[in-house]
Chains A and B, each alone.
Chain A
Amino acid sequence: MSMMAEQRELRDDALNGLQLSTHMESIWRTPSGFSGALMSVDHKVVGRRYIVTAFAFLLLGGLLAVLMRVQLAKPESTFLSADKYNQIFTMHGSTMMFLFAVPVMEAFAVYLVPLMVGTRNIAFPRLNAFSYWMFLFGGCFLWISFALNVGPDVGWFAYVPLSSLQYTPTKRPDVWAQMITFTEVAALAVSVEIVVTVFKQRAPGMTLDRIPLFVWAMLVTSFLVMFAMPSIMVASTSMILDRLVNTRFYDSSSGGHPLLWQHLFWFFGHPEVYIIFIPGTGMVSAILATFARRPVVGYPVVILSLIATGFLSFGLWVHHMFVTGLPQLGAGLFTASSMLIAVPSGLQIFCWLATLWDGRPVYRTPLLFVIGFIVIFVMGGLSGVMVASVPIDTQVHDTYFVVAHFHYVLIGGAVFPLIGAVYYWFPKITGRMLSERLGRWNFWLAFVGFNVAFFPMHILGLIGMPRRVYTYTADMDWAHLNLLSSGGALIFALSFALLLANVIHSLRNGALAGDNPWNASTLEWATSSPPPPQNFDRIPVVKHRDPLWFDNESLPVVAGLSAERREVLLTSLAEAEPQIREASPEPSIWPLLTAIATTVFFIGSIFTPWAVLWGTPPMAVALIGWFWPAGHKEDEE
């Protein structure tokens, strides 16, 4: 770029006020119309879609849960056949884990992290769009297969040899395995984006010790995804190969080993729980600070325990395999480390309690859900420490005790903070408040319903009810508790119906939110609600860990970025010193086309190995279209 051109370029310091806003908006907005919507690379548009889609899958997975509870409400029920039940619990578990819990956390990060670190878009916005399409197509692939009676029926961890060709000659396990590939590609892409956004796009002055705790949590989660998910990709790929081209990974007659599957699966599967739980803790920290009206006590302690939890979560996978007959010492080691992980979680809980104690808490709906989280999670942790010990695990393995335990951890640890987060950030995302009155009903129904649904399962497990049974006989004495549990599940489901009603009602009639309705401290509240396409008219400068509490009158900003094309500010890793004015990609249809080509390839390759030959050229073409500079703007980048 010559000096002349540089002189002529319009910069944001030449504009002011409304003129600046409208100008930036015209550069950053998503093109209008249907085709424009398909081209969007705005992290807020993609993030919103991601959130809505993940909640749609929660609804579907929840409906399946209700079907299961109807079936189990009374002994010898004929509401569902054994085959349907197998498909349904597999679909429920897989949908909840792969299409709801992980994606919804990624989704919130996609929406919030760029705003919280004060930048205009996520790093690699086209990859972000691609990630969403892959997630959507993978989810639809699973559910369309289910509708065609090809829904997986081998449990959410698809153990071999049950899922081998010999025992399950249908395409059902292949559908499961390839759905995994779709969602892992999506999750890995988002993780890299988050890491680079946090490392390089933080507002000037946002040093490492000024990063909001939610952003820290998502950073740690992204690293967990990057190191855990390759394992399940290796696992699902080798499973498909065994079933398609007769490789022998899991065939014990030819040197393969079924336990290899369990190792690969749980090397991913255990960190998976933390991939769901750590973002939840980030949401808790954000909500708690705002409603306790003081910063979270022990900021460095919280960060260190996040990181410690991340590391420890990789030392635990074997505890899912205690009953497979491991060497004595190994079992002891894994028991110890399983109990050790309670320490950082415990430390965080103390920090939160101290924050509440020392603050002036305002009990609005988001805070209610956070307190519900703390109560439920402590109970889940207790039953967790119990199953971490080998003798107890041997007794309750594969019973409803385990089902109760992991729902306490997953729903308590992730879903409660998540619903709190919905109430908390809904005003930012939509510009309107959710109804507080419905919110309270929502909370109490959820809290009571959840405990009535899942607490009895502990007892059912202890008196011997195995998981994954489609029915039981009357003489087992399990009927009362099951009926109680089903009743609780219905109440719990009702609480979600109420949330949906609240959302629909408030989208039109909710009170207008304004920029910062909760008087919170982080940067996403420094812009309008909903934020404009450019997020901020000028990039903020951060001088304090809680910038908006430090000064809520005026926002220090930098000037000098382009007002002619999309530009973001890159800053240094530790000190967040400005380094580069980097171009940010324009909207493009190619991520969608690449996702379509990849989908054809992925689905084709569970039917024929030749998909590698005819499936990859379209992907290559789409990728070239994606990266090839188009037009003047991108050349000047």
Chain B
Amino acid sequence: MRQTIVRNVGDLPTYGYGPQSGPWWGAMGFMALEGMGFALAIGAYLYLYAVNPSWPIGATPPDLWPGTAEVIIYLLSIIPNEMTNRAAHRQDLARVRTGLIVMSLIGIALLVLRGFEFAHLNTRWDNSAYGSIVWLILGLHTTHLVTDLGDTVVLTVLMFTRHAKPRRFSDVTDNVFYWNFVVLAWLPLYALLDWVPRL
């Protein structure tokens, strides 16, 4: 077929931020389906809660301090996360590097706390259906934490190499975006795991 050029797009940029970029929508898609996974796991928890006369089954509720400490750190982490986001938009490499290092350290701290949380659940996965669903949900969220931490660490290293080109700043903002999802997902899970058994 004969072609008629009706427009030249040569002046367009080669990367963008947020909804302009493809990876942002990809992250959105994965957050949607992972969010659905969390919702279903919560549904399963509530189903088991509803069909069992006593809850938690044969155990005391989880100790509150690890989960609560995590909530505080997660909420505070939004601040350095957002600072990293702004630095990335300004393409301020030095600040992005600092921000990523801070976020990696926060991730590691949360992972350590998560270890304590497992130890203070006061039930094993094979005690009862209660133990099973609690371990499943916490495991699911831990997988997210680990994945995002891995991504953050690799990105941090990348920004110290010759690959720290302008378009990588867009990757940094996507990483920031995904972290907010990990934080947001934790809040209902915390309420479910730590407070529902106390109702």
Taking beta carbons and an 8 Å cutoff, which residues of A are in contact with B? Answer: 1, 11, 13, 123-124, 188, 191-192, 195-196, 199-201, 204, 226-227, 229-231, 233-234, 237-238, 241-242, 245-249, 251, 254-257, 260, 263-264, 267, 515, 526, 537-538, 541, 552-561, 567, 569-570, 572-573, 578-583, 620, 623-624, 627-629, 635-637
Please count the residue pairs between chain A and chain B whose beta carbons lie under 8 angstroms apart in the complex: 201
Instruction: Determine whether B199 belongs to the interface, using a CB cutoff of 8 Å to chain A.
Output: no
When the two chains form their complex, are residues A559 and B9 in contact, meaning their CB atoms are under 8 A apart? yes
With contacts A200-B22, A231-B40 known, is A245 near B125, CB below 8 A?
Answer: yes
Within 8 A of A (CB), among B112-128: 125-128
Known: A196-B29, A264-B40, A558-B7. Contact between A580 and B128, CB under 8 A?
no
Contact of B9 among A191, A578, A623, A636 (CB under 8 A): A578
Distance from A275 Cβ to chain B, minimum over Cβ atoms (Å)? 14
Q: Are A248 and B132 in contact (CB under 8 A)?
A: yes
Query: Is B26 a contact of A123 with CB atoms below 8 Å?
Result: yes
Task: Write the chain B residue with the least CB distance to A17.
Answer: B3
A254 to B126, CA, bound (A): 9
Among A230, A231, A267, A573, max chain B CB count under 10 A is at A230
B72 CB contacts on chain A under 8 angstroms: none
Smallest CB–CB gap between B4 and chain A, Å? Answer: 5
* 5 A-B interface contacts by CB (under 8 A): A13-B5, A245-B126, A554-B2, A557-B3, A628-B158
Which chain B positions have C-beta within 8 A of A629?
A: 158, 163
> A570 near B21 (CB under 8 angstroms)?
yes
- Check if B150 is an interface residue, CB within 8 A of chain A: yes
Q: In the assembly, what is the distance between CA of A107 and CA of B133, in Å? A: 35
> Is B187 located at the chain interface by the 8 A CB criterion?
no
Scan B152-169; emit 1 where CB is below 8 A from any A CB, else 0: 001000100011011100
Number of B interface residues in the complex (CB < 8 A): 56
In the bound assembly, the distance between CA atoms of A560 and B10 in angstroms comes to 4
Interface class of chain A by DSSP: mixed
Q: Tell me if A557 and B14 are in contact (CB < 8 A).
A: no
- B5-31 toward A: CB 8 Å interface, digit per residue (1/0)? 111111111111001111001100110
From B20, B34, B154, give the contact of A624 (CB < 8 A). Answer: B154
Residues of chain B within 8 A of A573, CB atoms compared? 19
Assess the B36–A227 pair: CB atoms within 8 A: yes
The 9 A-B pairs at the shortest CB distance, nearest first, are namely: A560-B10, A247-B132, A255-B129, A192-B29, A230-B37, A256-B129, A246-B126, A554-B2, A560-B8
Q: Let me know if B132 and A560 touch, CB within 8 A.
A: no
Query: In whole angstroms, how far apart are the Cα atoms of A420 and B132 in the complex?
Result: 48
A558–B30 Cα distance when bound, in Å, is 32
Complex CA gap A17/B30 in Å reads 41
B1 proximity list for chain A (CB < 8 A): 515, 526, 552-555
B136 and A260 contact, CB distance less than 8 A: no
Contact A553 B132 (CB under 8 A): no
B33 within 8 A of A: yes
Knowing A124-B26, A234-B41, A234-B44, the reply to whether A248 touches B131 (Cβ < 8 A) is yes
A435 CA / B26 CA spacing, docked (Å): 41
Which chain B residues border A233 with CB–CB below 8 Å?
37
Chain A contacts of B36 at CB under 8 A? 226-227, 230-231
Known pairs A263-B47, A558-B6, A629-B163; A249 contacts B29 (CB<8 A): no
B29 touches A569 (CB 8 A): no
Shortest beta-carbon distance from B48 to chain A in Å: 7
Given A255-B48, A257-B47, A541-B6: A229 and B132 within 8 A (CB)? no
- Per the bound structure, the CA–CA distance linking A576 and B32 in Å amounts to 23
In addition to A13-B5, A264-B40, 5 A-B residue pairs with Cβ atoms within 8 Å of each other are A230-B37, A254-B128, A255-B48, A570-B21, A579-B16
Give the distance in Å from the alpha carbon of A578 to the alpha carbon of B14 in the complex: 12
Complex Cα–Cα for A248 and B19 (A): 43
Query: Bound state CA distance, A561 and B29, in angstroms?
Result: 27
CB distance from A636 to the nearest CB of B (A): 8
Q: Which residue of B lies closest to A634 (CB)?
A: B163
Chain B residue contacts of A624, Cβ below 8 A: 154
Minimal beta-carbon separation of B2 from chain A (angstroms): 4
Distance of B155 from chain A, by nearest CB (Å) = 9
- Min C-beta distance of B54 to chain A, whole Å: 9
What CA separation (Å) do A227 and B35 show in the bound complex? Answer: 9
Q: Does B57 have its Cβ within 8 Å of any Cβ on chain A?
A: yes
Assembly CA distance A449 to B195 (angstroms)? 60
Complex Cα distance A249/B127, Å?
11
Supposing A226-B32, A257-B48, A580-B15 touch, asked if A248 and B129 sit within 8 A by C-beta, the answer is yes
Interface flag for B52 (CB, 8 Å): yes
| Beta-carbon nearest neighbor of B52 in chain A | A255
Residues of chain B contacted by A13 (CB below 8 angstroms) = 5, 8, 10
How close is A233's CB to chain B, nearest CB, in angstroms?
A: 7
Q: Is B51 an interface residue (CB 8 A)?
A: yes
Question: What residues of B have a CB within 8 angstroms of the CB of A248 in the complex?
Answer: 126-129, 131-132
Tell me if A559 and B52 are in contact (CB < 8 A): no
Shortest Cβ gap from A578 to chain B (Å): 5
Interface string of B41-59 (1 = CB under 8 A from A): 1001001100110000100
Q: Is the CB of A192 within 8 A of B21?
A: no
Is B181 at the interface (CB under 8 A from chain A)?
no
Known: A1-B14, A13-B5, A553-B1. A192 touches B30 (CB 8 A): yes
B135 to chain A, nearest CB (A): 7
Give B134 Cβ to nearest chain A Cβ, in Å.
Answer: 10
For residue B130, CB closer than 8 A to chain A, the reply is yes
